[in-house]
């Protein structure tokens, strides 16, 4: 992931290309397509050169296909179609016209790719998780409205540069500066105290001497042969360690000849008391999309129950990997009274690419701000992190096996 400023530069570049008055509409559309490609490279480097196909092995790189292309280039295709199909006299030629339709067309492209991949990534917005004004605005109005505002602001800049409209540039600059005063809606991160999020690369080893009351494990880390119904259960398994804590762990649950991507909650004595299966399955690796199955021999069996479990005296939300991209699942995981969400991630699809790891972390940052809750994110190959409700990352682990991101002691926590 590149610097947030490059995300803005790519946006202004695309808007500039749209507003540049070329009479040859094919040439104009080609310029926009080329600028979109450059904008994508500015945002994400060379997209994801090491993107791995889920379940196909560490060496199965598929380059810039998949998520990298969908969030980098394809979201701009509706803009190109508008330029090609709209009659000349109605096309964007003056200041104020481009900012009216360009952001909507851009978001339409992203919604289309979200439908294909079943993951609403808000691609451009993901580059801005390190920009406090943007993250704080998300906490007040949500991700899509924030993306619409930011895209409009970038379109104003690009169009104003083309037409040399000083007043528009001054107004847009003033709005950008005013955004620095936006406060975060939620800042209380006490829900993270005593929580540890693990990063493991191989298997579920035992955890010892970890100062935590709740330990979050990655997606599918346990290969225990279990067959559980959803909801409250009563099963005894091998204890996960010596730390006196509640554990929430990702497993593969077997239901007859079907498999579920699941989460269980258990005591440190190995008493499993809750199970639920993933509801929002990913289009790559977990279910058939358009007659194509990627990464597995069969589709996973979808779960049904709400992703909320009681841990001690409180309730927490539990999301499994790509469910954090699903707005409906985020809402279901954060009913009134829930101030902590656990994300059990695998991140196999990003391989070991730093840009991919940051992309998935940024999705969790924006989700925490939007829902006004803290997030503890465990991962197999990505970033394990503890994130406050204002988007602050309090602890993170980017590499290694069986490392933990743990909230600072209460005496030093904000």
CA distance 246 to 342: 13
CA distance 59 to 52: 7
The helix (run of H) or strand (run of E) holding residue 371 is helix 354-371
Q: Which domains does the chain have, with CATH numbers?
A: 4-181 (no CATH), 190-406 (3.60.110.10)
Please give the angle made by the CA atoms of 272, 375 and 198, to the nearest 5 degrees: 55
Q: Are 351 and 318 in contact (CB under 8 A)?
A: no
pLDDT more than 90, % of the chain: 39
CA distance 357 to 145: 25
**Mean pLDDT across 212-234:** 90
Q: Are 406 and 212 in contact (CB under 8 A)?
A: yes
Choose the weakest-confidence range: 165-179, 313-327, 370-384. 165-179
Give, as one character, the DSSP assignment of residue 207: B
Classify residue 64 as left (phi > 0), alpha (psi -120 to 50) or beta: alpha
Q: In terms of DSSP H, where are the helices of 195-326?
A: none
Residue 233, classified by CB atoms within 10 Å of its CB into exposed (0-12), middle (13-18) or buried (19+), is: middle
Segment 368-378, tens digit of pLDDT: 999 999 999 99
User: Kind of pairing, strands 308-311 and 258-266?
Assistant: unpaired
Facing residues of 265 across strands?
248, 274
CA distances from 153 to 55, 109, 173, 174, 240 (A): 40, 18, 9, 11, 51
CB atoms within 10 A of CB 295: 16
Segment 36-91, tens digit of pLDDT: 777 776 666 544 454 444 444 443 344 334 454 455 566 777 877 777 777 656 55
Using the Cα atoms of residue 295, residue 226, residue 268 and residue 411 in order, give the sign of their dihedral.
Answer: positive
Question: What pTM value is reported for the model?
Answer: 0.88
pLDDT for the residue 189: 94
Segment 109-119, tens digit of pLDDT: 878 777 766 77
Average pLDDT, the chain: 82
In this predicted structure, the answer to whether residue 143 has a pLDDT above a threshold of 60 is: yes
Which among 200, 205, 212 is positioned nearest to 347, based on CA atoms?
A: 200
DSSP string over 63-103? TT-THHHHHHTGGGHHHHHHHHHS-GGGS--STTTHHHHHH
Q: What is the largest CA-CA distance in the chain?
A: 73
């Amino acid at each position: 992931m590149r610097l947030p400023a490059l995300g803005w530069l790519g946006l202004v570049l695309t808007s500039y290309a749209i507003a540049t008055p070329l009479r040859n509409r094919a040439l104009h559309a080609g310029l926009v397509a080329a600028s979109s490609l450059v904008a994508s490279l500015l945002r994400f480097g060379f997209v994801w050169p090491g993107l791995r196909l889920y379940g196909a092995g560490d060496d199965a790189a598929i380059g810039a296909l998949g998520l990298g292309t969908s969030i980098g280039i394809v979201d701009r295709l509706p803009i190109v179609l508008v330029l090609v199909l709209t009659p000349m006299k109605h096309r964007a030629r003056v200041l104020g016209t481009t900012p009216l339709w360009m952001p909507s067309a851009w978001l339409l492209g992203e919604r289309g790719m979200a439908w294909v991949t079943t993951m609403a990534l808000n691609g451009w917005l993901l580059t801005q998780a390190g920009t406090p004004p943007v993250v704080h605005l998300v906490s007040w109005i949500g991700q899509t409205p924030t993306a619409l505002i930011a895209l409009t602001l970038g379109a104003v800049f690009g169009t104003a540069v083309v037409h040399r409209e000083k007043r528009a540039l001054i107004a847009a600059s003033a709005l950008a500066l005013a955004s620095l005063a936006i406060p975060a809606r939620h800042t209380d991160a006490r829900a993270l105290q005593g929580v540890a999020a693990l990063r493991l690369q191989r298997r579920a080893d035992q955890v010892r001497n970890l100062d935590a009351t709740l330990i979050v494990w990655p997606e599918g880390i346990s290969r225990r042969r279990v067959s559980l119904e959803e909801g409250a259960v009563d099963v005894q398994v091998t204890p996960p360690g010596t730390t006196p804590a509640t554990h929430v762990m990702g497993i593969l649950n077997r239901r007859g000849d079907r498999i579920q991507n699941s989460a269980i909650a258990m005591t440190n004595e190995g008493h499993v008391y809750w199970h639920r299966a993933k509801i929002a399955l990913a289009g790559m690796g977990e279910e058939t999309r358009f007659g194509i199955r990627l990464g597995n021999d069969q589709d996973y069996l979808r779960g049904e129950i709400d992703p909320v479990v009681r841990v001690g005296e409180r309730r927490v939300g539990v999301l499994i990997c790509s469910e954090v991209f699903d707005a409906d699942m985020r809402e279901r995981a954060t009913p009134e009274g829930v101030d902590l969400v656990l994300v059990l991630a695998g991140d196999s699809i990003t391989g070991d690419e730093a840009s991919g790891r940051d992309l998935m972390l940024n999705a969790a940052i924006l989700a925490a701000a939007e829902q006004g809750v803290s997030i503890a994110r465990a991962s197999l190959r990505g970033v394990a992190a503890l994130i406050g409700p204002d988007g602050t990352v309090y602890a993170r682990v980017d590499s290694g096996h069986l490392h933990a991101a743990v909230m600072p002691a209460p005496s030093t926590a904000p």
